[in-house]
Chain A
Amino acid sequence: MYDEYYLELSENPVQFENASSVNNVFFDEANKQVFAVRSGGATGVVVKGPDDKSSVAFRMDDKGEVKCIKFSLGNKILAVQRTTKSVDFMNFIPDYPHLEFSHECKTKNASILGFCWTNWNEIVFVTDQGIEFYQVLPDKRTLKLLKSQSINVNWYMYCPETAVLLLSTTVQGNVLQPFAFKTATMSKMSKFEIELPAVPKPAKLSLSERDIAMATIYDQLYVMYLKHHSRTTNSPGAEVVLYHLPREGTCKKSHVLKLNTTGKFALNVVDNLVVVHHQSSQTSLIYDIKLRELDGALNVHQPVLPAQSINPYKIPHSGPAAAPSQAPVPCELYSSSWSVFQPDIIISASEGYLWYLQVKLQPTLNLLQDKGKLMDFLLRRRDCKMVILSVCSQMLTGGDKGNLSVVATVFDKLNQVYKEYLDAEQAYTAAMESGPSRSSTSYKRPVRTQAVIDQSDMYTHVLSDFTEKKGVKHKFIIAVLMEYIRSLNQFQIPVQHYLYELVIKTLVQHNLFYMLHQFLQYHVLSDSKPLACLLLSLESTYPPAHQLSLDMLKRLSTANDEIVEVLLSKQQVLGALRFIRSVGAHDNVSARKFLDAARQTNDTMLFYTIFRFFEQRNMRLRGNPGFNQGEHCEEHVAYFKQVYGENALMKQATA
């Protein structure tokens, strides 16, 4: 059963002092910092971030109950809200005065709902009557108003990744007004309305911030609305409705995730997957909005995998002071004290832990039977490479029937991603070569994600092992290799030599030379010098390999020297000479090489012919039939004289 848990809590949680009557705990989503404020700060504020660098501890005066506390980006300035009227600031920049300063919201009678940092020195106050965008001047210990906007606000939500602030307006609260922030500017985005399952009468606030979350999925910002099951409509369960919030343009309802159950839910986004936790069943569901359902309406999604609990988690020590011998305590999952934050954070304030939620890909192998769908799913995950490769290995050795078409589908999916990357890479290189000065910023070097599975990955992790496996039918092995080569060809990816070698090795091992011959005949194994040499080496077991090899060398047209060598080694001296003459390279070949070969045949007539040919060449090139010193032909001249006599040597033309 262990293997089926596809969600888990991070192994090294951020630990903090658990919330209590004397210790208030705050979480800042922007910096992902947990603030433990003891006695209003008087006895210490401990800030724990995702890494040690972002962890700080300090003291501040207890000036009343802290409602909200957050550092600006980079821990430069601390902002603390204690009243509904003002926010207090504290410089954390070295050499700047450490004294607190306070700023009141400018709108009269407004009460501050909260604030968010949009930069190291820019802050937004959200009040029930609007928003105020300030620049903090730490040296002057004052704030400068950059912009403000009046609007009735029920509640707000901020997405730090995209710096988008979402305000709930109107009486029912279902009209959402987003604002986008960028250094010193604030822009109003188009507002949109969330469709409520039922309109209450009389009108009252019906959309709670608990049911809304913002997250970026596949680089796009979405507002996720948890639409509870309503008795008036016929929907069988609750659903999550995703509203796509583009930088420009209007916000549109884009996806519906069917939860098929009711109750209390919480949302996370991990690795571009929407995770929905269901408290009463203590399970979670995951959704991939890019995974198209085969049936049903477009963009209505069912869970990718069956509902499953988060992997059981054991807390190593009960508290920082625990003895090492103490047994780990099982952690209560889906506890009511859990708080869930975007995108992937789960906090248990009562126990003092912050976890990151993670997706484990390995279990999906057995949970998702449809290999094509599984591949689609995996190719979009971050750490997918090894899992994909193990899916490939598994499907090849699984021995299911009708496997080959599955294998083909999987290969095609892999190669599609591989090809896209190759194209992007090529376009980038071309752009760089054509002139890096021109719009160099718009051409970013393509990122090679783990989903790019190239031929060497396939070869090393899947194919070479697979071909060595005992008990796999060679017919299947060859079919798989051909399928991979077909897929590569289909995407116009040049096939690497080692794959051909693997095909040849497998065919030779099973004496399937005729099959090999046919593959070569149709140029399925592309021509190359190494391949030609490999074929030459097969000649002793399969004589036609000689012809295949020569043909290949001929087609390469850059392998004339090799052809001559092959022919000479077969004592086809005249043939070699005729060949080199036909390609017009006979003026540059070594005479000695040919004469050596001719001597070895013990055919004196042949030797005579070859010798004469080179004498004529010498004559033509240098006006003298004799061989040069550097040609090292003395031995052959002597032999020629010995056999045919001195007079047989060609005479220099008397000019």
Chain B
Amino acid sequence: MLMISPRMASGMQEKQYTPSLLSFFIYNPKFGPREGEEEKKILFYHPIEIEKNEKIRNVGLCEAIVQFTRTFCPTKPAKSLHTQKNRQFFHEPEENYWMVMVVRNPMVEKPNKDGKPPTVEYQEEEIIDSVYGSVLQQCYSMYKLFNGTFSRAFEAGGVELLTQKLEKFFYRYLQTLHLQSCDLLDVFGGISFFPLDKMTYLKIQSFVNRVEESLSLVKYTAFLYNDQLIWSGLEQDDMRILYKYLTTSLFPRHTEPELAGRDSPLRPEVAGNLLHYGRFLTGPANLKDPDAKFRFPRIYVNTEDSYEELHLIVYKAMSAAVCFMVNVAVDLNREFCEQLDSLVGPQLTLLASDICEQYNINRRTSGPEKEPQFKFIYFNHMNLAEKSTIHMRKTASVSLTSVHSDLMKILGDINCDFARVDEDEEIIVKAMTDYWVVGKKSDQRELYVILNQKNANLIEVNEEVKRLCATQFNNIFFLD
């Protein structure tokens, strides 16, 4: 399929507004079914300043839309509502619990010469449903990771507890949503895996198994290096959201002190006669501190069946981070933390330097890193493996891309096309800016390539992508 993407000519003194969050609310229609009790339905509403009646009106509208559209397709309720100024996203993560996110469309403000107020032009087509739909789902997953399900909270402490939890969580969480930089990667919600040779991987396995054996309290372990996953004892879906939390929230918060601490403030710990660089990212900041608190964040996993509540211990030595998950019934005290520190610290330090060494060897043998002619995003639905040369390193605030948002938009559109059909397909798009964008779908894998070749024709682009697959993906089965 060949498409030519439309590209608007950019004006001169125009002011561009990126998409932003207008409101976000959670309601359950069953909580206030009678007239006059509508307010009871609302469990959370952002922004909080909105007047009560308006809240009720907005919730009522959403309810109505969902009810109305349900008559057309009872199994797939409405997911979004497009209007000129904004777009609303609906999500029902648990029965009767609805989450709604209203995003203001991006807009261009054009100044008018004769002192008139500027004309506002809404770009209602720039927002991709799947991207923001995924963002909304992620909001729920993240909430659930730290708070468990809505219904469990309701069962435990009624509406009061539930609203309390929602407010506590979303008040902070919504501030970290950066809607302007959401893109295809949010749709995938993938995991970046650290490339590693078999032997080093087996050493890590061995390390994890031994630690789990000697600290029998540890139920699950996850191992990361350079913010990339190597091993997860958690199931895939739980790991997916935990990974998101670690890489976009916890790790970035600790990068700064780490970089600064190379020389002075963070001294290596001495356990026995072994030097180590291990430290807790959650829990006690400093074990030596007599007032250290041994409180760890709690997470909820396997909520579908066993519904486990766990302490999340994140321990890091150099670039290697390990998450130990311990049943919440266990009281984690100083003794446990010291034991963990002295057991894991030296081993992890050693392992981290092993991995680093191995990684450098592999990099050297694979030749010097050249900036390739193309940029790509790869995603595998089976193991959630994701690889992007488009995105810069993620930071706490924004994920930076190295390509123009128009190209990202094309990627999103291709992805939507892929989602519609089951079969393998390939889409090649010539963008206005001399870029070629190629999307390939083979079985459960998707690959998006952006090529910058000015006068290339379709055949050459096709050949180029074939070459890319042969060099970058020669060890997987990828139909061409």
Contact = CB atoms under 8 A, between A and B. Distances in A.
Interface of A: 401-405, 408, 475-476, 478-479, 482-483, 485-486, 489-490, 514-515, 517-518, 521-524, 544, 546-548, 550-551, 553-555, 563, 572, 575, 578-579, 582
A486 B205 contact: yes
A490 B199 contact: yes
Nearest to B234: A514
B477 A404 contact: no
Contact of A482 (B205, B385, B477, B479): B205
Nearest to B219: A475
A544 B209 contact: no
B417 interface: no
A544 B383 contact: yes
Given A401-B214, A551-B476, A482 B209 contact: yes
B477 A486 contact: no
Contact of A575 (B193, B198, B479): B479
A521 B193 contact: yes
Nearest to B211: A404
B212 A475 contact: yes
Please give me the 5 A-B residue pairs with the lowest Cβ-Cβ distance, nearest first: A479-B209, A486-B202, A550-B477, A544-B382, A554-B477
A478 B443 CA distance: 30
A451 to B, nearest CB: 24
B198 A522 contact: yes
A544 B444 contact: yes
A522 B477 CA distance: 16
Determine the main DSSP class of B at the interface with A: mixed
A402 B216 CA distance: 10
A297 B279 CA distance: 39
B235 interface: yes
Contacts of B480: 578, 582
B198 A551 contact: no
B213 A401 contact: yes
A524 B231 CA distance: 12
B4 to A, nearest CB: 26
17 contacts: A405-B210, A408-B210, A483-B206, A486-B199, A486-B205, A514-B232, A514-B236, A515-B233, A517-B382, A518-B231, A521-B193, A521-B383, A522-B201, A550-B443, A551-B475, A551-B476, A578-B479
Contacts of A483: 206, 209
Contacts of A489: 198-199, 202
A572 to B, nearest CB: 8
B232 A408 contact: no
B475 A485 contact: no
A483 B236 CA distance: 24
Contact of B205 (A403, A524, A575): A524
B253 to A, nearest CB: 27
Given A551-B476, A555-B475, A579-B479, A403 B213 contact: yes
Contacts of B236: 514
Nearest to B230: A522
A550 B216 CA distance: 38
B446 to A, nearest CB: 13
A517 B424 contact: no
Contact of B476 (A517, A554, A563): A554
A403 B214 CA distance: 9
Interface in B66-123: none
B196 interface: yes
Given A408-B210, A515-B233, A518-B383, 10 more contacts: A479-B212, A482-B205, A482-B206, A486-B202, A486-B206, A514-B235, A517-B383, A544-B382, A547-B382, A547-B445
A523 B198 contact: yes
B203 interface: yes
Interface string B207-238: 00110111010000000000000111101100
B248 to A, nearest CB: 22
Contacts of A578: 479-480
A553 B476 CA distance: 9
A524 B479 contact: no
A404 B196 CA distance: 23
Contacts of A554: 475-477
A524 to B, nearest CB: 6
Contact of A404 (B213, B383, B475): B213
